[in-house]
Structure 1
Amino acid sequence: MTNLKSVTLAVMAAGAFASFPARAAEELVVYCNVQEEWCRPMVTAFEKATGIKVLMTRKSVGETYAQIKAEAANPKADIWWGGTGDPHLQAAEEGLTEPYKSPKLAELQPWAVKQAEAAKYRTVGVYAGALGFSYNTEELAKRKLAAPKCWADLTKADFKGEVQVANPNASGTSYNMLATLVQVMGEDKAFDYLKALHKNVNQYTKAGAAPARAVATGESMVGITFMHDAVTQVVEGAPVKVVAPCEGTGYEIGSMSIVKGAKNMANAKKWYEWALTPEAQGIAVGAKAYQVPSNKAAPTPAQAPKFAEIKLIDYDFVKYGSTAERSRLLAKWDKEVGALPK
Structure 2
Amino acid sequence: MIRVLPLLLSLVLLAACASDDREQLVVYSPHGKELLEAYEAAFEAEHPDVDVVWLDMGAQDAYDRIRTERVNPQASLWWGAPQTLFMQAAAEGLLAPYTPTWVEAVPPEARDPEARWFGTYFTPEVVAYNTEALDSTAVPTDWDAMLDSAWADRIVIRSPLASGTMRTIYGAMILRQPTVEEGYRWLARLDQNTKAYTADPTQLYLKLARGEGDLTLWNMPDIALQRDENGYPFGYLVPAGGTPILVDAIAVVADAPNPERAQQFYEFVTTTDALIEQARAYHRIPARSDVPPDSLPGWMTALDLQPMPLDWARLATEGPDWMQYWDENIRGRGAEYLAEHGGE
TM-score, normalization by structure 2? 0.82
The residue that corresponds to 2:40 in the other structure is 43
**Which residue pairs with 2:143 in the alignment?**
151
Which of 84, 89, 92 in structure 1 is aligned with 2:90? 92
Q: Aligned in 2, Cα 1:194/1:276: closer, same or farther, shift over 3 Å?
A: same
Offset at residue 95 of structure 1 (A)? 0.5
Which whole-Å CA distance do the structure 1 matches of 2:33 and 2:129 have between them? 23
Indicate the residue corresponding to 1:18 in structure 2: 19
Query: In structure 1, which of residues 198, 203, 222 is the aligned counterpart of residue 196 of structure 2?
Result: 203
User: CA separation in 1, counterparts of 2:85 and 2:203?
Assistant: 19
Structure 1 residues 145 and 53, CA gap change in structure 2 (3 angstroms): closer
Task: Indicate whether 1:241 and 2:235 are aligned.
Answer: yes
Q: Deviations over 1:40-66 (max 9, x none)?
A: 111111111222211111101111111
Asked if 2 retains the 8 angstrom alpha-carbon contact of 1:176 and 1:251, the reply is no
The 5 Å alignment of 1:1-342 reads 18=19, 26-51=23-48, 52-106=50-104, 108-110=105-107, 113-118=108-113, 120-140=114-134, 146-186=138-178, 187-208=180-201, 211-212=204-205, 214-235=207-228, 238-285=232-279, 288-295=281-288, 296-297=290-291, 299-304=295-300, 307=303, 309-322=304-317, 325-338=318-331, 340=333
Count the aligned residue pairs: 313
Distance 2:301 2:205 in 1: 15
Which letter maps to 2:144? A
Question: In structure 1, what is the Cα distance between the partners aligned to 2:18 and 2:130?
Answer: 48
Tell me the distance in 1 between the aligned counterparts of 2:206 and 2:332: 26
Q: Is the 8 A contact 2:141 2:238 kept in 1?
A: yes
- CA shift, 1:341, in A, is 6.8
Amino acid at match of 1:279: D
Contact 1:211/1:224 (<8 A) preserved: no
- 212-221 vs 190-199, which deviates more? 212-221
| Equivalent AA in structure 1 for residue 198 of structure 2 | T
Amino acid at match of 1:129: T
TM-score where L is the length of structure 1: 0.83
Q: 1:54, 1:158 → 2: CA distance?
A: 47
Query: Over aligned residues, Cα RMSD in angstroms?
Result: 2.6
- 1:224 is displaced (CA, Å) by 0.6
Runs of 5+ consecutive residues of structure 2 not aligned to the other structure: 1-16, 336-344
CA displacement 1:273-305 (0-9 Å, x = unmatched)? 22221122233246x421211233264333448
Separation of aligned partners in 2, 1:268 and 1:319: 30
Could you tell me how far 1:117 is from its partner in structure 2?
Answer: 2.9
Segments of structure 1 that go 5 or more residues without pairing to the other structure are 1-15
Aligned partners of 1:135 and 1:221 also within 8 Å: yes
- Mean Cα displacement is larger for which, 231-240 or 194-203? 231-240
Counterpart CA distance in 2 for 1:240 and 1:29 is: 33
Identity in percent = 24
Q: Secondary structure at the match of 2:296?
A: coil
What secondary structure is seen at the aligned counterpart in 1 of 2:133?
helix
Query: By how many angstroms is 1:206 displaced?
Result: 3.4
Residue 235 of structure 2 aligns to a residue whose secondary structure is strand
Asked if the contact 1:164–1:220 (Cα under 8 Å) also holds between the matched residues in 2, the reply is yes
State the distance in 2 between where 1:209 and 1:317 align.
28
Which SS does the other structure have where 1:242 is aligned? strand
State the match for 2:4 in structure 1.
none
The amino acid that maps onto 1:180 is A
User: CA, structure 1 residues 89+259, in 2 after alignment: closer, same or farther (shift >3 Å)?
Assistant: same
CA distance in 2, matches of 1:302, 1:229: 18
Query: Aligned with 2:160: secondary structure?
Result: coil
CA contact (8 A) 2:241 2:308 kept: no
Greater alpha carbon shift after TM alignment, 128-137 vs 297-306: 297-306
Letter in 2 for 1:18: S
* 1:147-175 deviation digits (Å, cap 9, x = unpaired): 31111221222211111122221001100
Name the CA shift for 1:73/1:164 in 2 (closer, same or farther; >3 Å): same
